[in-house]
Each structure stands twice: as C-alpha cells, then as structure tokens.
Amino acid sequence: MAEPAESKNFINLGVVVSPKGEVLVIRRKRKETGSGGAVLEWAFPGGKQRYGETRAQCAEREVCSETGYDVAVRREISLRIHPQFMITIVYHLCELKSPQPVAEPQEPHEVAEIKWVKPQELHTLFTTDIDPKVKKELGLT
C-alpha cells in the first residue's frame, strides 16, 4: 500500500512542554539554508501534513515518529509563512501523554539528536527566526 500523499508546502510543528517546563527539540541530520544565511539545524519536531489528516493529527504523528514521545495537541499557537524559508508552518502547543518515550523514533535518517531544553536555551540552538507567538507562549518575550 502506498504512503498517503503529503502537502509539500505545509509543516506542522509540535511545541512540546514537559511538566518541568522544558521544551522538546530535535537536531536535524540534514541542515537547510534559508534567506539571510539562516541555517535550520535545531527545530521543534514536526513534518508535512498528509492529505485527509488534520493539522493536530499531523503534529501528534510527526512528534511521535521523530522522537518516540506520545503527545496531545492542546491548541494551535500560530500559523505563518516562515520569513526565512517561505513555507507555511503551524505551531501547536502539545503536552506529553507519557513522561517517557512510548516507541523508538521512526525517522533516524532525519533526526540526529533529541533533547529537552529550558526555553531560554532555544536562542543558543535555533539560528532561525522563532515565531513571536511561540516566544510569548514560552515566556521568552
């Protein structure tokens, strides 16, 4: 059976916050370069939305696939065209359903590292623009 088709220009990301207030991030194996020399290496987990899938379903599936953590989307934080990569990104606030991973990550070809960080550390890891509404949600403004 063929994989479901994906929307090529639409990405759903999970902003997963732990009970300790830490945020789940991934380091990508393949870096991407955007406008202004921005380099996408560290990011929130997520991916392309499949046709027939809701944005929340996509975020939950992609977070689990990339990190092994089972999450529930609580609400959408923001939808925007990323200014450095010209792609539509939707950020979802997620909470853990379980404190430990429930599965092995299914995308080792894409994800080099999975890490929990304090929100203040995002500025040292992310070299790309962080959505203003995400910053506000994480208390970074």
Q: pLDDT tens across 28-80, in order?
A: 999 989 998 888 999 999 999 998 999 999 999 999 999 999 999 999 999 99
What is the number of helices (H) and of strands (E) in the chain? 3, 7
Percent of the chain with pLDDT over 70: 94
Backbone dihedral region of 61: left (phi > 0), alpha (psi from -120 to 50 degrees) or beta? alpha
pTM as predicted? 0.91
Domains of the chain: 6-137 (3.90.79.10)
Find out whether 126 and 43 touch, Cβ atoms under 8 Å: yes
- Buried residues in 16-30 as b, exposed as e (16+ CB within 10 A): bbeeeeebbbbeeee
Closest CA to 115 of 29, 41, 27, 30: 27
Indicate the pLDDT class of residue 108, thresholds 50, 70 and 90: confident
